[in-house]
Chains A and B, each alone.
Chain A
Amino acid sequence: MESEKELKMEKYGYEEALNIAKKGSHCGMCRFDFLGTGLCPSGKENGFLAYWPQGRMQIFKNLMTGKVKPTEKLKDITNSCPLCGICDKQCNFATKLRPEKVAKALKEYTNNLDESEFQDIFEDEIIKGLREIVGEKWVTNDPIITSAYIQTIIHPDSDLNHYVVMPETTEEISKIIKFANKHNIPFMPRSAGTLLSCATPTVLSKAVCLDQGIIIDLLRLQKLEVDSKSCTATVGAGITAFELQKEAYKHKLRANLAEAGAHVCANIASTGITSTWQNRYGWAADNFTDLKMVDDKGNIKNITDLDIKNPYTTERGFSDITLSAPGIITECTMKLHPVFDDEDIVFVPFEHLKDALSMIMKLAKRQVGLSLIVLSRKYFSNFLCPTNEIAKDFEYICKKYLKFNWVVDVICNKDDKKIIEEMADFTIDKEMMKTIMLGAPKLSSLKESEFMKVLSEEENPSKAIFAGPMRKHLEKGLEASPEQIAKVYDEDLSEFFKNVYSRPHMTDIMWHHAFRILPSRLMRQRLFFAQAGMIWAADENKILKLVDMLSEVCDKHKFEHMLGFILPMDDGKYAFFEYDYYYDHNDPDAVKRVSKALIETTENCLRMGDILMVLNYLFKGVYRKEHVLYPIPRAITEEEVSLFRELIQMILGEEFEW
């Protein structure tokens, strides 16, 4: 059977398209306009994920692997795609993929089908009932459309017994939930789906996905209003971080936001919004003044209502794991913060994490800086470099020649900048960062050069090249320009990217900290799992021990890994860490190894104490940080370890071997 499929793909020349589709990571960068290209016209018009580039890639993969059979809707999906190429531009910037090739293959495949190959879809009473709530266009049980949601809310082995409904208002969501309860149908909201896409290949899949029932796709809740007087923005559940930030910046205000494609409301609900600004702007309930939610009975309430029980507190402890939010946030009123005229950015490179950590925690405790983070060379390289290959070489140079393994990255006002400059041996400024960004391909090409070998003999090679006498030579040698960086893109996209990099904000590293379009590059053609948590930061050695432990476990399970970043929060009392496991999500063996490491490191962290792991703060973003983080988590006892293992076993099922 498998060889028949392969023959079919070979016959139609679909191998390349399938290869692209398989690498799709559902980063969601094709669903908002971050390059000024406009949006995919098909997705914009039809809403359902199936009509967006990422959905088409998933559908193609599903069809080619026999997961789903064609229906009449497939014609609609392919016909609505004008092959305009917007998706190629957006996706190429983020992940280096060419989704239009998949769209073309899907079109061709559909056109070549015999009419008898399209299966009929039968409507049931549930579809009719949901239609009465949201209208004819916005509900479906067509498996071609529902299958687009595989990997981001539907488990890949699921029977596809799902409905997708796209409400436009909170009231419609309330009615859907009441209807679902009356008919005993499970339901789950879906926003960008990226968090779920990272969890779905792992052992967490069945616990986080919707096994059957109604997917409430929140994309149509598009309210976005900034009130500059109160420095707040009212944001609907369909609005992305990028869209809110763009609106806020028009008023010289800034929101505390996660990655560009994250939907703001869902991001509050799931992880409380993790950002480089969180030491200053806060976390979880610090981010909003009000939330509108629909609870699991379908009741609409505002978090500021007087007659509800304290909405800001939650249970604590290792056993308190929650895999769903306390309700669907349909609208939030986000706090906005002023953008100051004298803001600047400073980078301080370090060879050792210990030193970088020491500096960032000092700054955090003294409340110096607005945005504070320690980035690993891996993040730094991946963010700045336009391709995986360049990023890999860039990272190699950082490690081997420059002793540039960690960088303290601070956005601050001019007074704070002086403090940092006094603390640091040298700094890298905004202009140099622009040069590095545009010159990354050239710099990476120096991987085996004599110049690098000579440079590495300097006492502090990073200082010599970025802030010392060699800076001028570097600036000249890199030939950093939009023309240079555009050359690394496919020939037909080169001119477009030359224009993109010519726009001042695209090389403004401060703009990138607010708009966060670069983190999607970490999902370039493969997924990663972010093992994250918050650690009480009084003992910096304990943070270093934690990093060593994570590294050892990952080494044991044999996959690529590295600490992504550490960022202080709560005035440096806590440190948020993200340690990333990189793997090919299409390789079942790699998935197994990553899953084992995930559970093992979670247990080890609980044993260490002072750490709140992601499993214990997930879906607690609506609460006050003081109620989530305090009292400081203590190390669990051996008896509790057994209970934890029992709980995990029950969540994950029999297939998980300890």
Chain B
Amino acid sequence: MVKFLSDEWNNYGKEYIIKKLDPTKDLKNVTTSLLAVIENIPPNDTTMNFYLGIEDGKLIDFIVNTGDKFEEKVAVFTVTGNYGTYKSILKGDMSMAVALLKGRLKLKGSKMQALKIIKPLDGVIVSLKEITDEFED
């Protein structure tokens, strides 16, 4: 188990998703990308992001960065929320769908398209939940 957004989380997360999630069964062979922007990270109120790229249900990219932008690739969807919201999702207190509907996560991109891939993405989040046990206070 590792700390959210740490280098270990990044490495372990990628390995875990590839190993545990079946491209067809779990990720429905989707091709999509998501940039998750995490704001208000304690203790210094900083912003980070992670980029997920999935092609035909296979994880291609899982990259953690600082700041609210990731210039290397253009994500189909961008979801922005504060650290507490991501923490709640990764602790299983709230689903990504509810966070989006409650406005705790802001979506940039088509809601209809997002709906089509939200279940596979939820699978990714659930798998990240399995490896994440430490958060900033």
Q: Does B1 count as interface, using CB distance less than 8 angstroms?
A: no
Residues of chain A within 8 A of B97, CB atoms compared: 647, 650-651
Q: Are B84 and A186 in contact (CB under 8 A)?
A: yes
Is residue A502 within 8 Å, beta carbon to beta carbon, of the partner chain? no
Which of A184, A296, A321, A322 lies at the interface centre, i.e. has the most chain B CB atoms within 10 A of its CB?
A184
Tell me whether A315 and B116 are in contact (CB under 8 A).
Answer: no
Rounded to whole Å, the gap between the CB of B35 and the closest CB of chain A is: 19
On whether A323 and B115 interact (CB within 8 A), knowing A184-B87, A650-B122, A653-B95, the answer reads: no
A650 with B103: CB separation less than 8 A: no
Interface: B77 (CB within 8 A): no
Do A650 and B118 contact each other (CB < 8 Å), given the known contacts A182-B45, A320-B111?
yes
Interface residues of A in 163-188 (CB under 8 A from B): 181-186
Contacts of A647 in B (CB 8 A): 97, 115, 118
Q: A residues bordering B, Cβ < 8 Å?
A: 181-186, 206-207, 211, 296, 315, 317, 319-324, 326, 643, 646-647, 650-651, 653
- Is the C-beta of B67 less than 8 angstroms from some C-beta in chain A? no
A-B contact pairs, 11 of them (CB 8 A): A183-B84, A184-B84, A206-B98, A317-B112, A321-B101, A646-B119, A647-B97, A650-B95, A650-B96, A650-B119, A651-B97
Once bound together, how far apart are the Cα atoms of A596 and B18, in whole Å? 38
Residues on A with beta carbons closer than 8 Å to the beta carbon of B50? none
Interfacial residues of chain B within 70-105, with CB under 8 A of chain A in the complex:
82-85, 87-88, 93-98, 101-104
Q: Is the CB of B40 within 8 A of A184?
A: yes
Neighbour of B93 across the interface among A182, A211, A326, CB < 8 A: A211
Residue numbers in B under 8 Å from A183 (CB-CB): 84
Pairwise interchain contact A643-B84, C-beta atoms closer than 8 A: no
Among B40, B45, B94, B97, residue most surrounded by chain A Cβ atoms (within 10 Å)? B97
Query: Cβ of B87: which chain A residues have Cβ within 8 Å of it?
Result: 184
Q: Which residues of B contact A (CB under 8 A)?
A: 39-40, 42, 45, 82-85, 87-88, 93-98, 101-104, 111-112, 115-116, 118-119, 122
* Shortest distance between the CB of B99 and any CB in chain A (Å): 10
Q: Which residue of A lies closest to B87 (CB)?
A: A184
Contact A323:B102 (CB < 8 A) given known A184-B40, A186-B84: yes
CA distance A184 to B45 in the complex (A): 10
- Contact partner of B83 (CB less than 8 A), chosen from A184, A206, A643, is A184
Docked CA distance A296–B99 (Å): 13
- Determine the chain A residues whose CB is within 8 A of the CB of B112 once the complex forms: 317, 319
Q: Using Cβ atoms and an 8 Å threshold, which residues of chain B touch A315?
A: 111
Once the chains bind, are A324 and B118 in contact (CB under 8 Å)? no
List of 3 A-B pairs having minimum Cβ-Cβ separation, nearest first? A184-B84, A650-B97, A324-B103
Bound form: Cα–Cα A326–B96 in Å: 18
A447 to chain B, nearest CB (A): 47
Whether B104 and A322, one on each chain, are in contact in the complex, defined by CB atoms closer than 8 angstroms, is: no
Residues of B with C-beta under 8 A to A207: 98, 101-102
Q: What DSSP secondary structure best describes chain A's contact surface?
A: loop
What is the CA–CA distance of A323 and B105 in the complex, to the nearest angstrom?
12
Q: Contact between B102 and A324 (Cβ–Cβ < 8 Å)?
A: yes
| Contact indicator A184/B42 (Cβ below 8 Å) | yes
CB-based contact A181/B119 at 8 Å: no
For residue B88, give the distance in angstroms from its CB to the closest CB of chain A. Answer: 8
Q: Is the CB of B101 within 8 A of A322?
A: yes
Identify which of B82, B98, B102 contacts A184 (C-beta below 8 A): B82
State whether B40 touches A182 (Cβ < 8 A).
yes
Chain B residues whose C-beta falls within 8 Å of the C-beta of A326 in the assembled complex:
103
Set of chain A residues within 8 Å of B102, measured between Cβ atoms: 207, 323-324
Q: With the chains together, A184 CA to B111 CA distance in Å?
A: 25
Give min CB distance, B1 to chain A, whole Å.
21
CA–CA, A550 and B119, complex, Å: 30
Residue of A nearest to B113 (CB): A319
> Among the listed B84, B93, B103, B122, which residue makes an inter-chain contact with A185, where contact means beta carbons less than 8 Å apart?
B84
Q: Which residues of A lie under 8 Å from residue B118 when comparing CB positions?
A: 646-647, 650
Cα distance A647–B83 in the bound complex, in angstroms: 24
B40 lies within 8 A of A181 (CB)? yes
Interface centre among B87, B95, B104 (most CB of A within 10 A): B95
CA of A321 to CA of B85 in the docked complex: distance in angstroms? Answer: 19
A76 to chain B, nearest CB (A): 31
- Chain A residues near B94: list those with CB within 8 A: 211
Q: Are A181 and B95 in contact (CB under 8 A)?
A: no
- Once bound together, how far apart are the Cα atoms of A651 and B102, in whole Å? 10
Inter-subunit contact B115/A186 (CB<8 Å): no
Give min CB distance, A471 to chain B, whole Å: 54
Q: A315-B111, A324-B101, A643-B115 are in contact. List 4 more A-B contacts (CB 8 A).
A: A186-B85, A319-B112, A650-B95, A650-B96
> Considering the chains assembled together, what is the distance between the CA atoms of A206 and B112 in angstroms?
23
* Residues A323 and B40 in contact, CB atoms below 8 Å apart: no
Q: Which residues of B contact A184 (CB under 8 A)?
A: 40, 42, 82-85, 87
- The answer to whether B40 and A650 have CB atoms under 8 Å apart is no
In the bound complex, what is the Cα–Cα distance between A594 and B30 (angstroms)?
36
B116 & A322 in contact (Cβ 8 Å cutoff): no
- Closest CB in chain A relative to B100 CB, distance in Å: 9
State A296–B97 Cα separation when bound (angstroms): 18
Chain B residues positioned under 8 Å from A322 (CB to CB): 101, 103
CA distance A507 to B97 in the complex (A): 49
Of chain B, the residue at the smallest CB distance from A653 is B95
* Closest chain B residue to A184, Cβ basis: B84
A181–B38 Cα gap in the complex (Å)?
12
Given contacts A181-B82, A182-B45, A650-B118, contact A323 B111 (CB under 8 A): no
